[in-house]
Amino acid sequence: MDDSSSGIAERSRITTGAGERWLFLEGNRFAIAAAVAAAFGTFFLALTMANVAPLTDPQPLFYAFSALISGNLTLITVVASINQLLLSRELQSPGELQSEIEATVEFRRDVEAVTNRAAPAEPSGFLRLVVESARQDAQRLGGTAAGTLPAEVYDEVEDIVAELTDEFDRIDELIQESDTGIFNTLSTMLGTNFAYEIRRLEEVRQAHDASLTEETNAAIDDILDRLRELDIARQYFKSVYLQVELSRLSRYLFYAGLPAVGVVIATLFVLSVSDPTRFGQSVRVVLFPIVVTVGTLPLSLLFSYILRLMTVTERTAAITPFTTPEQED
């Protein structure tokens, strides 16, 4: 086995740290947004308490809070744009809807025909069914190769089968441990790419075609089909996840944006009193960092969600039989 095709089992160990994975993928988006907003507030609280920014002149606060208002209004505009994007995907003609449904049903029937089982409706159950079918075909490939191929060819096939089986077991275990939500289902395959294994199987076939029996060739065809089905399922689940996540993001930005604008506007009204010194230094030191925290919450929420959306998109950018360096991390 050459270095460029070190296999799934080895690549699956090349993962990011637990903290980085929590930040980019697994962490609660509200917790991350709250932490980022609190970091803004804490930073400005430290500046005021250290007397670096004593807040004796309210004029700079007018500029800062006005910028927060305009920024949050821009975010609300972004929300409207996101909703337009989602609507543009949903507004289809009857013919387009029929074609999409027929293609989805055909794919589902193909899986059911191979497994001889009714495919579950929820994503996690469907993915597990495809994984179980792929595992069975991988084992069948190893069985047909035993005793019929030269030793060096059999070793290569057995190595591929072992790597695929280990990866299928890993995915199945993750599916059982995770919830049935669309992201949890998709996340079980973010670190999986079968491009190298497909290439290695095709190389075995091309280099040793004369040594392969009809049963082994058929088993290779079947496992290649299963690997492609897994990638199709992953890409479809990704498209569903992106629509769900973007719709949630747009709603949450509305929930956070409108109160944030209201709080900052109220603070500007307070600053507009004729005698700003009526608010003691201690009040200003505590109050204004809190306003900054609330005012930056929508931006922090956008940051936390976009971070995960872009990570998922990056790690599933290529489709079989291609791959990218980002999908191997």
pTM of the shown model = 0.83
CB-neighbour burial class of residue 239 (10 A; exposed 0-12, middle 13-18, buried 19+): exposed
Rounded-to-integer distance, Cα 192 and Cα 46, Å: 44
Rounded-to-integer distance, Cα 60 and Cα 263, Å: 18
For the stretch 282-299, pLDDT in tens is 667 788 889 999 999 999
Higher pLDDT, 324 or 24: 24
Confidence of residue 277 (pLDDT cuts 50, 70, 90): low
The residues spanned by each domain of the chain are 3-328
pLDDT score of 262: 94
For the stretch 135-151, pLDDT in tens is 999 999 988 888 778 88
pLDDT score of 53: 73
**Dihedral angle of Cα 195, 201, 203, 205, to the nearest 10 degrees:** -150
Higher pLDDT, 9 or 255: 255
pLDDT score of 329: 55
**Least confident window among 1-10, 153-162, 221-230:** 1-10
Q: Which secondary structure element, helix H or strand E, spans residue 90, and what is its range?
A: helix 59-90
